Amino acid sequence: MSANALFAPFALKSLQLKNRIVMAPMTRSFSPNGIPGADVAAYYRRRAEGQVGLILSEGTVVERPASSNDPNIPHFYGEQALAGWQHVIDEVHAAGGKMGPQLWHMGVMKEHRSGWKPSEAFEGPSGLFKPGETTGKAMSEDDITDTIAAFGRAAADAKRLGFDCLELHGAHGYLIDQFFWAGLNQRTDGYGGDALTARSRLAVELVQEVRRQVGEEFVISLRLSQWKQQDYDVKLAHTPQEMEAWLRPLADAGVDIFHCSQRRFWEPEFEHEGSDLNFAGWVKKLTGKTTITVGSVGLSGEFLAGFAGESSEPRSIDELLRRLDRNEFDLVAVGRQLIVDPNWVEKIEQGRSDELKGYSREALSTLV
Ligand code: FNR
């Protein structure tokens, strides 16, 4: 099978992409004092030169005092950090690329992330956040209002600096996901409760505010995951009906793209439905919105192991293409392969499989 489907252009509102490949957002911690410098701009520019269709930045934190625990994680506020991002997007555009920042707030993970060890986090049913353990300080309504305003300001800045779209990080157990998750959201006000739709209120209000700031034409992506770093087995939606109830209000609030985070793109989301559709497949089917899939594209060996250590056979690009051809999802995000190799996309397009590089963790120590 040819890789053509991956290289078909894609257009949504003001976003025009030359192909279907998205660089997944990946924290790199190379921005001292939260300021992305020339090396970060050059790193993203190399991915644009390497023909990545859409680059999503590493998570970049919005203006809340508690939003990050690592001084090298970039900010998306303040004159110097925004000047750094201006340079990033100018470099990406000069190389013909497209890019959106991933706006992030860690929530209680700020306290826990630095001490987090995978081997500890998955011991119990709720991992790091043990049942009954009170985690973090509940946000006041003023805190919530401030947070929504901070996301709104960051969104307006993303548009002003010339970014092509933006993404909200609603996945992996960070702030937005913490609200979705009954195990952590024990609020009794209008932002909590038994129903997932009630626990989605923060996300809905964030999306509404971001939409208000950027206007109708600017594309908003929302990254979601059923899994959490703190507990791989917790699922937010157990059936397509629950998933639709969760996502419909978010789509109505203004989400254009659901970026559906999975560890492996071939894992069926609802096996009991007798369907092999993955998370992005179900979300596209239920909402009619554009979806991005992700998870172990081009990876092999030890990196396919799940959190519980179970292994999986690598899947070929052909399997991905088969799913893209049947319109299961629209776009494909690639993470670790694009950390080790800025030219991965061109190699796939040109069938230069003998030149593909294997992923290794050492790659994280430099910006290749
Ligand atoms: C990630 N991932 C991630 N996700 C996210 O939404 N925001 C982020 O800032 C990060 N940071 C991050 C750092 C590093 C070093 C890795 C490896 C991953 C998850 C990432 O976007 C992607 O979903 C996974 O890596 C799975 O894709 P691959 O690597 O299997 O193609």
Question: What DSSP string runs through 38-95?
Answer: HHHHHHHHHHHHTT-SEEEEEEEE-S-TTS-S-TTSPBS-SHHHHHHHHHHHHHHHHT
Assign 123 a pLDDT band (cuts: 50, 70, 90). Answer: very low
Mean of the per-residue pLDDT values of the chain: 89
Ligand 1 atom with the smallest distance to the CA of 359 is: 29
296 lines ligand 1 (CB under 6 A): yes
CA 292 – ligand 1 centroid, Å = 14
- 8, 330 Cβ separation under 8 angstroms: no
Task: For residue 272, give Cα distances in angstroms to 239, 244, 268, 288, 325.
Answer: 9, 17, 9, 22, 24
- 323, 291 Cβ separation under 8 angstroms: no
What is the ipTM for the molecules in this complex?
1.00
- 174, 228 Cβ separation under 8 angstroms: no
CA 297 – ligand 1 centroid, Å = 12
335 lines ligand 1 (CB under 6 A): yes
202 lines ligand 1 (CB under 6 A): no
Q: Which residue from 59, 52, 57 is spatially nearest to 21, judged by alpha carbons?
A: 52
Ligand 1 atom with the smallest distance to the CA of 169 is: 6
Identify which of 21, 26, 28, 260 to mutate to test ligand 1's pocket (most ligand atoms within 8 A of the CB).
26
334 lines ligand 1 (CB under 6 A): yes
Task: For residue 264, give Cα distances in angstroms to 141, 278, 289.
Answer: 37, 9, 21
102 lines ligand 1 (CB under 6 A): yes
List the helix and strand counts (H, then E) for the chain. Answer: 13, 10
CA 24 – ligand 1 centroid, Å = 6
Assign 27 a pLDDT band (cuts: 50, 70, 90). Answer: very high
CA 346 – ligand 1 centroid, Å = 21
**pLDDT beyond 60 at 222:** yes
CA 154 – ligand 1 centroid, Å = 21
Assign 125 a pLDDT band (cuts: 50, 70, 90). Answer: very low
Identify which of 21, 22, 23, 27 to mutate to test ligand 1's pocket (most ligand atoms within 8 A of the CB).
27
CA 143 – ligand 1 centroid, Å = 28
Residue closest via CA to ligand 1's atom 30 equals 296
217-251 core/surface letters (b: 16 or more CB in 10 A; e: else): ebbbbbbbbbbbbbbbebbbbeebebbbbbbebbb
* Residues annotated as part of the active site: 174
- Residue-wise pLDDT for 249-274, tens only, equals 999 999 999 999 999 999 999 989 99
Ligand 1 atom with the smallest distance to the CA of 59 is: 9
Residue 332 in 3-state DSSP?
strand
Give the containing element (helix H, strand E) for 227.
Answer: strand 219-228
Q: What is the mean pLDDT of residues 286-300?
A: 95
Residue closest via CA to ligand 1's atom 19 equals 26
- 184, 192 Cβ separation under 8 angstroms: no
Distance of CA 301 to the CA centre of its chain: 24
Instruction: Name 327's Cβ contacts closer than 8 Å, sequence gap at least 6.
Output: 284
259 lines ligand 1 (CB under 6 A): no
CA angle (214, 258, 200) in 5-degree steps = 80
* 71, two tokens: 């001084």
- Residue-wise pLDDT for 151-162, tens only, equals 999 999 999 999
Share of the chain above pLDDT 90, in %: 72
Task: For residue 297, give Cα distances in angstroms to 132, 172, 303, 367.
Answer: 37, 19, 11, 21
- Residue-wise pLDDT for 68-97, tens only, equals 778 999 999 999 999 999 999 999 999 999
Q: Which residue from 266, 264, 282, 272 is spatially nearest to 227, judged by alpha carbons?
A: 264
The Cβ of residue 155 has, within 10 Å, a number of other Cβ atoms equal to: 27
Q: What is the mean pLDDT of residues 293-301?
A: 90
- Cα dihedral value 194, 196, 197, 201, nearest 10: 90
CA 198 – ligand 1 centroid, Å = 28
- 328, 293 Cβ separation under 8 angstroms: yes
- Cα dihedral value 173, 175, 180, 184, nearest 10: 70
Between β-strands 290-294 and 99-104, what pairing exists: parallel, antiparallel or unpaired?
Answer: unpaired
Position 66 scores a pLDDT of: 57
What domains sit in the chain, N to C, each tagged with a CATH number? 4-365 (3.20.20.70)
293 lines ligand 1 (CB under 6 A): no
Ligand 1 atom with the smallest distance to the CA of 102 is: 7
Give the containing element (helix H, strand E) for 252.
Answer: helix 240-253
Residue closest via CA to ligand 1's atom 8 equals 26
